[in-house]
């Protein structure tokens, strides 16, 4: 039996969790910074890292307390080594290293985006039949990957510009909605009529599995502020039209994800199911669309508490990622997601 203490600090959430044997969540503490960044319409990296410093020790203490364990009970420290903001990453990484050094226990750095996929697989880990199709839809990433095992991935397609969550946030900002924009767009779209606007997903010539969301965002900008307008230009649509824009945007973005996921299932007929990860999985509309589109396919979604950034998915994945010695204490943060880093990472070490 191994208790893993996981730490997450890649962006604007400070998280710590204690997870038993990769699956059983004993505690999962997340301190959100949304109120701090909201006033600026997006995450301010310098403020994010300062807040991580202030809050990380209390968050770790609370996670130990909630799990009713002490540091002595922890067998492994896991931390999100990236991708993310450099200042934010350094706080979690150094906290994990310090804990491992002080307690003489191993530590391991895991990939945050891989952990988003693990969040959905965690409760079903015993029952999973590989290969699976992984679909990451988050604030920073959008990609499709073939999953042959935990730790064995082949990237099928990715975005050439904005991530889907980023597009939601930008479209919301254009309409003057608060940050983060995803939940705001979802709320508005419920009462909107998507057929009022003709928004289409972008196609990239010769790259059927890759995404591009930047054109869709520009389409929203020109629709609500006029042709060749800028972010700061005033709205030319009625307040009551925002819901239709939101519905049309959301439908275009999700139909793109679904179409490319379907194509991937056609290309790899041996794939047994789909695993979704990332903050956009919080959206009920995409869960409904997927249920209708793939009625026969096993689909795995993260539990609600694990859709957004959290440390339970880091601790859970850390358990699988750990290979005897763990990582060395000079492990560097990884600000960008190198897709090749995910391609067949640690099983091939």
Q: Interface with Zn ion by CB under 5 A: which residues?
A: 138, 309
Nearest approach, Cβ of 241 to Zn ion (angstroms)? 32
Question: Does residue 327 touch ligand KG4 according to CB under 6 A?
Answer: no
> Reduced to 3 states, what is the DSSP secondary structure of residue 113?
helix
Minimum CB distance to ligand KG4, residue 68 (Å):
28
Beta carbon of residue 15, minimum distance to ligand KG4 (angstroms, whole number): 11
Contacted by 162, from ligand KG4, Zn ion, none: CB < 5 to 8 Å by type:
none
Helices marked H in 129-177 — which ranges? Answer: 164-174
CB of 182 to ligand KG4, least distance (A): 2
Task: For ligand KG4, give the closer residue by CB, 255 or 272.
Answer: 255
Query: Hey, which residues between 263 and 292 contact ligand KG4 (CB under 6 A)?
Result: 278-280, 282-283
Specify whether the CB–CB gap between 108 and 339 falls below 8 A. Answer: no
180 binds, among ligand KG4, Zn ion, none (CB under 5 to 8 A by kind): ligand KG4
CA 55 from centroid of its chain's CA atoms: 22
Question: What, of Zn ion, ligand KG4, none, does residue 186 touch, CB below 5 to 8 Å by kind?
Answer: ligand KG4
Nearer to Zn ion (CB atom), residue 197 or residue 300: 300
Provide the Cα torsion 139, 33, 78, 81; round to 10°.
50
Torsion of CA 150, 152, 157, 158, to 10 degrees: 70
- The minimum distance between CB 298 and ligand KG4, in angstroms, equals 22
Site for ligand KG4 in 172-191 (CB under 6 A): 180-183, 186
Please give the residues from 53 up to 72 whose contact with ligand KG4 meets the rule CB under 6 A.
none
Q: Is the Cβ of residue 3 or residue 188 nearer to ligand KG4 in the bound state? A: 188
Contacts of the segment 185-190: beta carbons below 8 A, 24+ positions apart = 185/246, 185/249, 185/250, 186/246, 186/250, 186/282, 186/283, 186/284, 186/285, 188/242, 188/243, 188/246, 188/247, 189/243, 189/246, 189/247, 189/249, 189/250, 189/251, 189/285, 190/243, 190/285
Is residue 4 within 8 A of residue 19, CB to CB? The reply is yes
Work out what residue 219 binds among ligand KG4, Zn ion, none; the CB cut-off runs from 5 to 8 Å by kind.
none
Chain residues binding ligand KG4 by CB under 6 A are 116, 138-140, 165-166, 168-169, 180-183, 186, 278-280, 282-283, 308-309
């Amino acid at each position: 039996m191994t208790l893993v203490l996981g730490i997450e600090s890649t962006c604007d959430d400070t998280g710590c969790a204690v997870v038993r044997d990769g699956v059983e969540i004993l505690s999962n503490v997340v301190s959100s910074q949304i109120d701090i960044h909201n006033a600026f319409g997006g995450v301010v990296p310098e403020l994010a890292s300062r807040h991580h410093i202030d809050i990380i020790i209390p968050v770790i203490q609370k996670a130990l307390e909630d799990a009713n364990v002490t540091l002595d009970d922890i067998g492994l420290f896991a931390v999100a080594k990236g991708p993310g903001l450099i200042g934010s990453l350094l706080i979690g990484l150094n906290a994990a290293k310090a804990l491992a050094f002080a307690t003489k226990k191993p530590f391991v750095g895991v990939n945050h985006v891989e952990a988003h996929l693990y969040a959905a697989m965690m409760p079903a880990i015993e029952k999973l039949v590989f290969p699976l199709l992984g679909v990451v839809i988050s604030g920073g990433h959008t990609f499709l990957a073939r999953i042959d095992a935990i730790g064995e991935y082949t990237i099928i397609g990715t975005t050439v510009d904005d991530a889907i969550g980023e597009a939601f946030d930008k479209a919301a900002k254009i309409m003057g909605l608060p940050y983060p924009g995803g939940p705001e767009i979802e709320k508005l779209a419920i009462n909107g009529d998507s057929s009022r606007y003709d928004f289409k997903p972008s196609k990239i010539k010769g790259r059927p599995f890759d995404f591009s969301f930047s054109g869709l965002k520009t389409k929203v900008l020109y629709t609500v502020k006029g042709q060749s307008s800028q972010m700061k230009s005033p709205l030319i649509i009625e307040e009551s039209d925002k819901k239709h824009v939101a519905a049309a945007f959301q439908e275009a973005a999700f139909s793109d994800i679904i179409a490319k996921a379907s194509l991937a299932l056609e290309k790899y007929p041996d794939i047994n199911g789909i695993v979704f990860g990332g903050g956009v999985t919080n959206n009920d509309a995409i869960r409904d669309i997927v249920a209708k589109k793939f009625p026969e396919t096993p689909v795995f979604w993260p539990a609600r508490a694990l859709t957004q950034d959290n440390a339970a998915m880091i601790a859970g994945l850390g358990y699988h990622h750990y290979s005897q010695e763990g990582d060395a204490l000079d492990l560097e943060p990884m600000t960008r997601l190198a897709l090749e880093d995910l391609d067949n990472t640690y099983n091939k070490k």
